[in-house]
């Protein structure tokens, strides 16, 4: 089994200088440096380390750029990797082993928090043990901020965080909508959650593998929200509604309506009192709703699993 590592860099050469050698050290892997119209030394680093260099002349969102990288990948599996994520040498060996189960379409590794690429930058804290989604349709990082040794048992997760996510080629083919895996309208935030939800509808599972370890500099998470630009927070806020329009069914939504409604009251109150810029997210979601529903109808024709059976709340044992 071979893997194409799609390593995206958007003027992140300083981090790429550490994440690229770690990616090149993986067994049975081709590394594609996805150069998202960078103006730094990303291209030189790719050539220096013997990686395949795929340059985008026009800068795209994280989701749209990674769609180009996935389309160019030639391996049996594809690892999406951010330039601020640094792999352990045996990362792929352990992650790929979970794909021996034909029902597993994605693998979520153990991400450990770090402040930078150096060993001294690493924290004794988890960044993520995969992603979770609850029945109020709130997505979050499993285990974020817990001690590093937590979540040390293999299990199932709702999905893999896009900082380092391994996908089976067959799963990606199943989940494509209009030839795209990651929804460009999401820009970046929650596009990996949207893909995970869709994969469940197609009958695929996501494995969590704690022996596959990577160190990640988290730019947006529960502990760093206040430092994130308002635009990004608003996009993340509105994308929850787009996910629901695309992947939910009326029966599933109705079953969980009390939980969803309770959260909506809290979310609206929070936006009104603390982050009024989020209120614009409702309008943005409304503007994007027709396209989301069109994609939702396409997904509904392809899905193999009743949306009521999607495993909301699923996470590996701590």
Distance of alpha carbon 115 from its chain centroid, rounded?
20
Confirm if 178 and 298 have CB atoms less than 8 A apart: yes
Model's pTM, two decimal places? 0.95
Q: Which residue range is the domain that position 179 belongs to?
A: 84-318
The DSSP-derived string for 201-257 is HTT-EEEEEEEEEEEE--SSSTTTGGGS-HHHHHHHHHHHHHHHHHH--HHHHHHTH
Query: In the chain, which residue ranges form alpha helices assigned H by DSSP?
Result: 13-24, 42-49, 62-72, 91-97, 169-175, 191-201, 230-247, 250-255, 257-273, 279-302
Tell the burial category of 255 from Cβ atoms under 10 Å away from its Cβ (0-12, 13-18, 19+). Answer: middle
pLDDT at 64: 97
Residue 140 lies in a domain: yes
Residue 70 lies in a domain: no
Residue 1 lies in a domain: no
Residue 41 lies in a domain: no
Residue 297 lies in a domain: yes
Question: What is d(CA 269, CA 274) in angstroms, rounded to the nearest whole number?
Answer: 8
pLDDT at 34: 98
Of the chain, the end-to-end C-alpha distance in Å amounts to: 30
Residue 165 lies in a domain: yes
pLDDT at 1: 84
Confirm if 187 and 61 have CB atoms less than 8 A apart: yes
Domain count, the chain: 1
Residue 4 lies in a domain: no
Q: Kindly state the tokens that stand for 144.
A: 């974020």
Tell the burial category of 117 from Cβ atoms under 10 Å away from its Cβ (0-12, 13-18, 19+). Answer: buried
Output the tens digit of pLDDT for each of the chain's 318 residues: 899 999 999 999 999 999 999 999 999 999 999 999 999 999 999 999 999 999 999 999 999 999 999 999 999 999 999 999 999 999 999 999 999 999 999 999 999 999 999 999 999 999 999 999 999 999 999 999 999 999 999 999 999 999 999 999 999 999 999 899 999 999 888 999 999 999 999 999 999 999 999 999 987 666 666 667 889 899 999 999 999 999 999 999 999 999 999 999 999 999 999 999 999 999 999 999 999 999 999 999 999 999 999 999 999 998
Sign of CA dihedral 165, 111, 94, 42: positive
Residue 172 lies in a domain: yes
């Amino acid at each position: 089994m071979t893997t194409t590592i799609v390593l995206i860099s958007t003027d992140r050469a300083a981090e790429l200088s550490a994440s690229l050698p770690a990616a090149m050290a993986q067994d049975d892997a081709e590394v594609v440096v996805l150069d998202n119209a960078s103006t730094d030394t990303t291209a030189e680093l790719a050539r220096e380390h013997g990686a395949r260099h795929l340059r985008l002349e026009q800068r795209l969102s994280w989701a749209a750029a990674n769609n180009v990288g996935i389309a160019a990948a030639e391996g049996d599996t594809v690892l999406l990797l951010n330039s601020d994520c640094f792999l352990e040498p045996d990362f792929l060996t352990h992650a790929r082993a979970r794909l021996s189960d034909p029902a597993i379409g994605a693998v979520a590794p153990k991400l450990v928090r770090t402040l930078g690429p150096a060993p001294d930058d690493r924290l004794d804290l988890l960044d993520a043990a995969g992603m979770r989604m609850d029945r109020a349709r709130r997505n979050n990082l499993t285990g974020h901020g817990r001690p590093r040794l937590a979540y040390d048992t293999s299990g199932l997760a709702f999905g893999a965080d896009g900082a380092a996510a391994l996908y089976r080629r067959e799963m990606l083919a199943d989940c494509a909508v209009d030839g795209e895996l990651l929804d460009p309208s999401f820009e970046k935030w929650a596009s990996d959650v949207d893909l995970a939800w869709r994969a469940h509808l197609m009958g695929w599972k996501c494995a969590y593998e704690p022996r596959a370890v990577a160190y990640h500099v988290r730019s947006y998470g529960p502990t760093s929200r206040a430092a994130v630009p308002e635009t990004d927070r608003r996009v993340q806020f509105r994308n929850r509604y787009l996910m629901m329009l695309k992947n939910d069914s009326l029966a599933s939504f109705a079953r969980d309506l009390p939980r969803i409604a309770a959260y909506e009251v809290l979310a609206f109150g929070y936006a009104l009192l603390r982050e009024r810029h989020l209120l614009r997210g409702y309008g943005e979601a409304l503007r994007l709703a027709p396209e989301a529903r069109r994609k939702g109808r396409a997904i509904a024709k392809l899905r193999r699993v009743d949306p009521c059976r999607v495993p909301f709340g699923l996470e590996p044992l701590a």
